[in-house]
Structure 1
Amino acid sequence: MQIRRKNFLALSGVAASVTLLAACGGDSDTDGGTGGGASDAGGASDGGGETAEGVPARGNADLVIWADELKAKSLQEPAKTWADAQGITVEVQTVANDLQTNYVTANQAGNGPDIVLGAHDWIGNLVQNGAISPVQLPGDAADKLAPIGLQAVTYDGQTYGVPYAVETLVLYANNALTDVPEPGSIEELVEAAKAGGAEVVLSLPVGEQGDAYHMQPLYTSGGGYLFGTDAEGNQDPTDLGVGKEGSIAAAEKIGALGADGVLRTSITGDNAISLFTDGKAAYLISGPWALGDINTAGIDFTMSAVPGFEGMEPAKPFAGVNAFYVASNGQNAGFAQTFVGEVASNAEIAEQMFQSNNLPPVNLELQDKLSGEFPDMVKIAEFAELAEPMPSIPQMAAIWGPLGQAQANIVGGADPASTMQAAGEEIARQIG
């Protein structure tokens, strides 16, 4: 099962099996050729071509960074500026496909980069493979970086990355189709959309196979959870919430929305945004990746946090955080730690990256600086504080298929209790 969404932060593919090398898949949604730009402090670094697997050869730069195509492009100039000031060479290399898996393999072989950019939900797999080293954040990091970013890169009590961007789901309201642009509950949303005569009350991707990512706000508001936590606050794969009482209560609410036609399996990741931009849907639950299409369509919209069910728990969508990781087997760990420390200490590198790749920032100073020109991006970063980091343990890969399919079946009329219990049993079997 694949998350049906335009992957804004290039989060790991979640359909992969729970294995050492690929507990979460790579960035298969990016494209473009493999290559990298060179920085020259006393001479340009040599990219060294490509390996037989199509990933870049390390070359002889003092600092080598791997990223997907968009992030690599955005990092070229700020990395070069920093490296020039240090008197070293840097190469930012593009890995267009399966970044995480290729990185783990290259790191184990000793020919990988010094730094890799990736999603925070990679951490469990990377730590399991011994592929990344903890990082030392500056003492004032809590004053500079949003709490959700710091929470996301903490695993088993250690900080494993420097966060720089975040995404989450929000509610978009078409102001022409509703008089309630910021509904306080799902029930108020439904009532307002029906009163406005919208063809589609809520455009939320479900599809025939389900979409547990987009359903997460409703699932959590109804009382469902995925994994519990242990005494230290770490995710506990032995405490599986799918199939338990709260998940069944959530399933009953989801089923009722399906019976009412509010949720539909005919709405998928392929048409959810266009239903809104074509003026058919009063509300849309989506992420920052929808903003471009919405603005191009000229929709008069209001953006707010996803509401929950009346009298139930708050809606908790996933937060996805992108971070810089230091390779455990990189050739120049000292340069790598210094560079990621610079990202954590000030907003300059993240700000330069934002100019060519607009991602909601984690740096609080940068949020304030961008709030005038890019208010929607900053609002999404602020709404992310109401979300929960996507679980980063490798066992998360077992959740998506069974839970998404169960939710789709329930929207289609299947019994909520038995369907959710069966999903929990299947997930438990996969986890082992």
Structure 2
Amino acid sequence: MRRSIPLTAAALGITLALAACSGSSDPADTESSAPAEQAGGTLTMWVDDTRIDEMKPVVEEFTAETDIKVDLVQKASGDIGKDFVAQVPTGEGPDIIVSAHDGLGEWVNNGVVAPVELGDKAADFSESALAGVTYDGKTYGVPISIENIALVRNNALLTETPAATFDELVAQAKGTGTPFSVLVQQGDASDPYHLYPLQTSFGAPVFEQSADGSYTDTLALGGPAGDAFAAYLAKLGQEQVLQLAIDGEKAKQAFLDGQAPYMITGPWNTSAFEEAGMDITVLPVPSAGGQPAQPFVGVQGVFISAKSENPVLANELVVNYLSTEAAQDRLYEEGGRMPANSAAAAKVENPILQGFNEAGATGAPMPAIPAMSTVWAFWGATEAQIIGGQAEPAGAWNTMVTNIQDAIDKA
């Protein structure tokens, strides 16, 4: 499943504007060098409940520098995207939204988000960060932080040089005599997100990508590469490396209890490991199929409403301010998330976050295209059947690909 780092929202010092700005003008693509000529204006920014505390001091500093006020509106993380789609057309939406990138395709298709021009600032971000805010060849936001899964090692159990392949890793882990070798959370419906690095290592990504990194709706997880990955899933199930009974919480607790030397997980769990006094190292997931193991990369971005009454001011905040190394340094200081700005990320000294950043450097952005919503249920159910030994691997995988394609075609 897709995960984000949960943080507790504190009381807000900035006035929460419950009535957002309205308007019906469609902003043109605003150049990143445009000055904030309307200094003294007001912007409304929606921020979800996991990010609002870290954004508060950053926009306060922006206001002090520009005299542009920013009213922060706290939204539940599960509601912010759908409320954006529902309210922008009515004129009741915000000027700016801060959210994970995987709703971008829906926002573009509904005409609620405006493209931005990063210009030379694009060079300040990794390809995966930019791909997360790109749709159909256009850039629609500024990436501010990134997250992905990686391999976490319990150094009290194992400190050997990391294995070159996933099979070697399993063998290495089994040598410790722990109940589990490599913990990978599953559950009744499996977990394609946590298995994705292994899948991509067979050359079977979920969708094809264009030259600019944006996704097409052409499936790429079938064919011989998909068959090979399906066979490998069956093997891991037979060997009990993957167990459907081990969901996210059970995997986390087993790792905390020292029952495995390795776990594939994200930064949302490593804070608990550190708080428990564990000595851990974060490493890239080794390849199982011979190609690079690419985890999904989640990009947290800042996006401008297509109906903002203040597109120039919004551009000043989003493109000219929040993209900067200084602003992303401040966001990291407040929230502890790996900055998307490469220079800011390079200064992060936390070895755990450094490990995740290195593991995700060649990762694949989570697809933001509408077709992705069709994939998850078929994908997870099929992987569960294969891991549980209830289906012939290649046949089940090919049926899954056909069913996904049919569902996309009918959408």
Is TM more than 0.5 here?
Answer: yes
State whether structure 2 residue 107 is matched by structure 1 residue 126. yes
In 2, the alpha carbon distance for the partners of 1:116 and 1:37 equals 19
Listed as ranges, the matches of 1:195-214 within 5 Å are 195-214=175-194
Q: Which amino acid aligns with 1:395?
A: A
Could you tell me which residue of structure 2 aligns to residue 115 of structure 1?
96
Could you tell me which residue of structure 2 aligns to residue 7 of structure 1?
4
SS at match of 2:293: coil
Listed as ranges, the matches of 1:187-198 within 5 Å are 187-198=167-178
Could you tell me which residue of structure 2 aligns to residue 23 of structure 1?
none
Q: Which amino acid aligns with 1:148?
A: S
Out of 355-364 and 251-260, give the one that drifted further: 355-364
Evaluate the alpha carbon distance shift between residue 137 and residue 59 of structure 1 in structure 2; reply closer, same or farther with a 3 A threshold: closer
Runs of at least 5 residues in structure 1 that lack an aligned partner in the other structure = 9-28, 39-44, 49-55
**TM-score, normalised with respect to structure 1:** 0.85
How far the C-alpha of 1:197 sits from its partner, in A, is 0.7
Q: Which amino acid aligns with 1:153?
A: V
* 1:211-249 CA-partner distances (Å, limit 9, x unpaired): 110010111112322112457764221x22344321111
| Residue of structure 2 aligned with 1:431, choices 399, 408, 411 | 408
C-alpha RMSD over aligned residues: 2.2
In 2, the alpha carbon distance for the partners of 1:121 and 1:59 equals 25
Runs of at least 5 residues in structure 2 that lack an aligned partner in the other structure = 23-40
Evaluate the alpha carbon distance shift between residue 65 and residue 173 of structure 1 in structure 2; reply closer, same or farther with a 3 A threshold: same
**TM-score, normalised with respect to structure 2:** 0.89
Could you tell me which residue of structure 1 aligns to residue 82 of structure 2?
101
SS at match of 2:361: helix
Evaluate the alpha carbon distance shift between residue 131 and residue 31 of structure 1 in structure 2; reply closer, same or farther with a 3 A threshold: farther
| Residue of structure 1 aligned with 2:326, choices 326, 342, 348 | 348
Could you tell me which residue of structure 2 aligns to residue 361 of structure 1?
339
State whether structure 2 residue 153 is matched by structure 1 residue 177. no
In 2, the alpha carbon distance for the partners of 1:263 and 1:234 equals 31
Q: Which amino acid aligns with 2:298?
A: G
In 2, the alpha carbon distance for the partners of 1:63 and 1:351 equals 22
Percent of aligned pairs with the same amino acid: 31
| Residue of structure 2 aligned with 1:406, choices 358, 365, 382 | 382
In 2, the alpha carbon distance for the partners of 1:7 and 1:340 equals 22
State whether structure 2 residue 314 is matched by structure 1 residue 336. yes
State whether structure 2 residue 371 is matched by structure 1 residue 381. no
Evaluate the alpha carbon distance shift between residue 407 and residue 116 of structure 1 in structure 2; reply closer, same or farther with a 3 A threshold: same
How far the C-alpha of 1:329 sits from its partner, in A, is 0.4
Listed as ranges, the matches of 1:49-60 within 5 Å are 56-58=18-20
Task: Determine if contact 2:144/2:323 at 8 Å carries over to the other structure.
Answer: no
| Residue of structure 2 aligned with 1:289, choices 264, 268, 287 | 268
What is the aligned residue count? Answer: 389
Task: Determine if contact 2:150/2:284 at 8 Å carries over to the other structure.
Answer: yes
Task: Determine if contact 2:131/2:212 at 8 Å carries over to the other structure.
Answer: no
In 2, the alpha carbon distance for the partners of 1:345 and 1:356 equals 16
* 1:285-340 CA-partner distances (Å, limit 9, x unpaired): 0011121111012222221101111x622211101111110110012111110111
| Residue of structure 2 aligned with 1:421, choices 398, 401, 406 | 398
Listed as ranges, the matches of 1:121-270 within 5 Å are 121-142=102-123, 144-180=124-160, 182-229=162-209, 234-237=214-217, 239-270=218-249
In 1, the alpha carbon distance for the partners of 2:204 and 2:126 equals 26
How far the C-alpha of 1:155 sits from its partner, in A, is 1.7
